[in-house]
Amino acid sequence: MPMRLPPLLRFWLPLLAVVTILGLVHALGGDHPSAQSIAMALLLTGTIALAGYLFAVIAQPERF
Amino acid sequence: MTSFPRVPFLRMPRGPRHERRHVERPRHQGLWRRALIDAVRKLDPRLTVTNPVMFVTWCGTALCLLLTLSPDLFDGPDAGQSRGFNGLISLTLLATLLFANVAEALAEGRGKAQADALRRTQARTEARRLADDGSIERVDSSALRRGDRVQVEAGDVIPADGEVIDGVASVDESAITGESAPVLKEAGSDVAGSVTGGTRILSDQLTLRITADPGKGFIDRMIALVEGAERTKTPNEIALTVLLAVLTQVFLIAVATLRPVAGFLGQAPSVVTLIALLVALIPTTIGGLLSAIGIAGMDRVAQFNVIATSGRAVEACGDVNVLVLDKTGTITLGNRLAEEFLPVGDHSVMDLAMVALAASCFDQTPEGRSIVRLAERLGATLAFDPSTARGIDFSARTRMSGSDTPEGVEYRKGAVEAIKGFVRSRGGQVPGALDDTFEQVSSLGGTPLAVCQGNAVLGVIHLKDIIKPGIRERFEQLRRMGIRTVMLTGDNPITAGVIAREAGVDDFIAEATPEDKISVIQREQALGKLVAMTGDGSNDAPALAQANVGVAMNSGTQAAKEAANMVDLDSDPTKLIDIVTIGKQLLITRGALTTFSIANDVAKYFAILPALFVEAGLGPLNVMQLASPRSAVLSAMVFNALIIPALVPLALRGVQFRPLSAEQLLQRNLLIYGVGGLVAPFVGIKLIDVVVNTLHLV
């Protein structure tokens, strides 16, 4: 069975991801970020999300 | 530590089961094709997300594929990223995912084949439903509902699960059990009173009350279970998933922080190399095979013609410490036979034979029929017309049976204590010689049945028990595995003690009532033990529900089957021992492959870390003398992918089971799968490196 996120998380998680990406893009590239710094911000956000997912598995393994 | 001589684990002699003609076996044609299709379908991230190790690998694969299309995405055009190298790493990662999916799909496919075999027994048929006024209405079997009454006769397929409310007939259950010999079904019988939809009536006629709505029958539930539709992770799998997730988390954080650290050392490892390092560090082998091992465990039980209601039940078998076994049918051959008549007091053998015959003329059990045969052989005849007499059935409470004539003469046979009580209640005296005869028979391991006519005791029938060949060795092996065996029997303590000693069980409960089963289980569970038992009657249902592993016989009542967490389609109680060994094998396989997976990561560190930090002085760690940093990374990744299909047969078949203690098993597994898992990848990665360089792949 494919997994589905709870409705609340389906709204907040993408929002959190967008905010993180924007913050990281600004931190890595300043006011005029290059394509590399945007990609790096995306990579870091993805890594953080992956770590969050692993924490969720550790905390509630039976849901997975 | 005590060492035991190694003996091969004996399989129980199955007697007629070897000769059984399995009419319908699971068909495995197309299994691989279906598995390959399913493996691709399982690449859906919504499915992969349930497995943390494989989901991280999936994310890494996606990123590598992106970097194959756009190598300069992170590091700019000056970093010298190679599209070809990125593509090769992407392919090996994709192969890793597909191999893991194939393993799971293969295990599931075998379960589906079993389900298909069961589904073929479910052909819709026409049923004769009885209306309240007694008229017969012909309806499709799918229109039957719980509580409907139907009539079936010779040649009909039984349209749905039901209980016999009228009639006696022989039924062919080969469609679900593979057993071609017909079984007798009759109204009013506890264990022969239920029928399964899809089986065929061979003779006579039965009236049934339907006990399951369409889609809720025994076979429907079994199909859902073997297909894995109701599969949930077992406690052990959950614990292992947490361990794997923790390891993955640690390595993810380590790898994510490596790039700035490497930058400080003047190194600039590419993102693809870091992904390769991450995948090499996390335990992908066990992550990829974990669910396949669990599904294959259930499948092995199913191949034994036992249907487990959940993976949890199979796994619980592996942790069982105590087996509660019925003596009859499990430890001894089912039928005890009358060996001799031993009169007491002034009575002759002929007197005793006459009364034994009178007390057994309504007894249709094998024991009862053997008493009749022995009495008739001695020339005994019935002193009354059986059509005018009333039969008294045996019950676990009265522990005796017999017959009452219209003249008021009561003939009884049964447990010695029960007969003593009966005789005293009629104002009779119990001769002292009865106890001597009782002890004489009991000390031989026989079952003494006292016989009386009214208030007069005539003597004892010696019923002979035959212990199953090989059972003593089985119990010895179970003891070495740390499993205690408890025999339950209705026999007196002396007989029970002799049989327990001969069979080699650890403990026994004599003169056991159905309530004793549940109390012995509760007592053992209170000591922290996990208990397994078998049962078939409605009175076994509470104990089957209480036991950690309850195996109901397919010939048993609906109540027993619903209370148990496994159903043995062959109705062979001895199989409990085999089921426990399958559960142990499942746990051992999971432990062995986890050990192997974690051990073989070490070689990958020696391949990838020197490649990453060659300029920082880690070159001497390249103990395998791999040709170049890129070939080292690629070789490690190829090995990481190939080891999964290499271990699939082991995961599906299970590691070879040996009846050893937990300590001995741990030592053995550490030696084979720990040291083996440590050494094999060094050899494998080196060989792959040679091939990679020979083919000039990097």
CB B307 within 8 Å of CB B226: yes
Q: pLDDT at position B352, please?
A: 94
Of the CA atoms within 13 Å of residue B490, those in its CB half-sphere come to 19
Determine, for residues A58 and B242 on separate chains, whether the beta-carbon distance falls below 8 Å. Answer: yes
The Cα-based distances of A35 to B70, B80, B426, B514 in angstroms read 12, 17, 104, 76
Which residue in B has a C-alpha nearest to residue A1's C-alpha? B47
Contacts with A, B 37-56, CB within 8 Å = 44, 46-47, 49-52, 55-56
Q: pLDDT at position B481, please?
A: 80
Determine, for residues B238 and A61 on separate chains, whether the beta-carbon distance falls below 8 Å. Answer: yes
**Is residue B245 predicted with pLDDT exceeding 90?**
yes
Q: pLDDT at position B291, please?
A: 85
pTM of the predicted model as reported, rounded to 2 decimal places: 0.71
Determine, for residues B245 and A39 on separate chains, whether the beta-carbon distance falls below 8 Å. Answer: no
Asked if the C-beta of B265 comes within 8 angstroms of chain A's C-beta atoms, the answer is: no
H helices within B79-200, ranges in order?
83-119, 174-177
Asked if the C-beta of A39 comes within 8 angstroms of chain B's C-beta atoms, the answer is: yes
3-state secondary structure A29-46: HCCCCCHHHHHHHHHHHH
Which residue in A has a C-alpha nearest to residue B63's C-alpha? A43
Q: Which of A13, A57, A60, A63 is best to mutate for the B interface (most B CBs within 10 A)?
A: A57
The helix (run of H) or strand (run of E) holding residue B698 is: none
By Cβ distance, the residue of B47, B63, B245 closest to A2 is B47
Asked if the C-beta of A54 comes within 8 angstroms of chain B's C-beta atoms, the answer is: yes
Contacts with A, B 460-519, CB within 8 Å = none
For B322, the token pair is 């105590």
Q: pLDDT at position B98, please?
A: 95
Which position has the higher pLDDT, B216 or B252? B252
**Is residue B184 predicted with pLDDT exceeding 90?**
no
CB B633 within 8 Å of CB B695: no
DSSP A3: -
Residue B518 and residue B393: Cα distance in Å, rounded? 24
Shortest CA gap A25–chain B (Å)? 13
Residue B75 and residue B78: Cα distance in Å, rounded? 7
Shortest CA gap B68–chain A (Å)? 15
Q: pLDDT at position B8, please?
A: 36
**Angle B439-B440-B446 from CA coordinates, rounded to 5°:** 90
Shortest CA gap A59–chain B (Å)? 8
Determine, for residues B46 and A57 on separate chains, whether the beta-carbon distance falls below 8 Å. Answer: no
pLDDT digits (tens, 9 = 90+) for B464-486: 888 888 888 888 888 888 889 99
Taking the CB of residue B266, how many other CB atoms lie within 10 A of it?
8
**Is residue B177 predicted with pLDDT exceeding 80?**
no
Residue B357 and residue B411: Cα distance in Å, rounded? 9
How much of chain A is helix, strand and coil, in % rounded to 5? 80, 0, 20
Asked if the C-beta of B62 comes within 8 angstroms of chain A's C-beta atoms, the answer is: no
| Average of per-residue pLDDT values in chain B | 83
Give just the sign of the alpha carbon dihedral B232, B235, B236, B242: positive
Which residues of B are the active-site residues?
A: 326
Q: pLDDT at position B189, please?
A: 62
Residue B522 and residue B407: Cα distance in Å, rounded? 47
Q: Which of A1, A58, A60 is best to mutate for the B interface (most B CBs within 10 A)?
A: A58
Which position has the higher pLDDT, B233 or B96? B96
Residue B140 and residue B118: Cα distance in Å, rounded? 20
Which residue in B has a C-alpha nearest to residue A38's C-alpha? B74
On chain A, the residues whose CB falls within 8 A of the CB of B256 are: 44, 47, 51
Instruction: Label residue B134 by pLDDT band (50, 70, 90).
Output: confident
For B119, the token pair is 């589904």
By Cβ distance, the residue of B233, B241, B253 closest to A51 is B253
Do β-strands B136-140 and B168-172 pair in parallel, antiparallel, or remain unpaired? unpaired
Q: Which of B74, B271, B275 is best to mutate for the A interface (most A CBs within 10 A)?
A: B74
Asked if the C-beta of A47 comes within 8 angstroms of chain B's C-beta atoms, the answer is: yes
pLDDT average, residue stretch B272-289: 91
pLDDT digits (tens, 9 = 90+) for A22-64: 888 888 777 777 777 888 888 889 999 999 999 999 998 888 7
Asked if the C-beta of A5 comes within 8 angstroms of chain B's C-beta atoms, the answer is: no
Determine, for residues B49 and A3 on separate chains, whether the beta-carbon distance falls below 8 Å. Answer: yes
Residue B156 and residue B175: Cα distance in Å, rounded? 14
Give just the sign of the alpha carbon dihedral B214, B295, B645, B118: negative
H helices within B120-191, ranges in order?
174-177
CB B202 within 8 Å of CB B232: no
**Angle B14-B332-B471 from CA coordinates, rounded to 5°:** 60
Q: pLDDT at position B203, please?
A: 80
pLDDT digits (tens, 9 = 90+) for B286-303: 999 988 888 888 878 877
Contacts with A, B 232-261, CB within 8 Å = 233, 238, 241-242, 245-246, 248-249, 252-253, 256
Which residue in A has a C-alpha nearest to residue B255's C-alpha? A47
Instruction: Label residue B95 by pLDDT band (50, 70, 90).
Output: very high
For B139, the token pair is 């309806």
Q: pLDDT at position B1, please?
A: 36
Asked if the C-beta of B678 comes within 8 angstroms of chain A's C-beta atoms, the answer is: no
A-B contacts at Cβ under 8 angstroms: 62
Asked if the C-beta of B136 comes within 8 angstroms of chain A's C-beta atoms, the answer is: no
**Is residue B403 predicted with pLDDT exceeding 90?**
yes
**Is residue B250 predicted with pLDDT exceeding 90?**
yes
The Cα-based distances of B498 to B178, B204, B445, B446, B501 in angstroms read 36, 44, 5, 9, 5
For B515, the token pair is 């309530």
pLDDT digits (tens, 9 = 90+) for B339-392: 899 999 889 999 999 999 999 998 887 788 889 999 999 999 988 888 889 998
Determine, for residues B74 and A43 on separate chains, whether the beta-carbon distance falls below 8 Å. Answer: yes
Determine, for residues B52 and A51 on separate chains, whether the beta-carbon distance falls below 8 Å. Answer: no
CB B468 within 8 Å of CB B333: yes
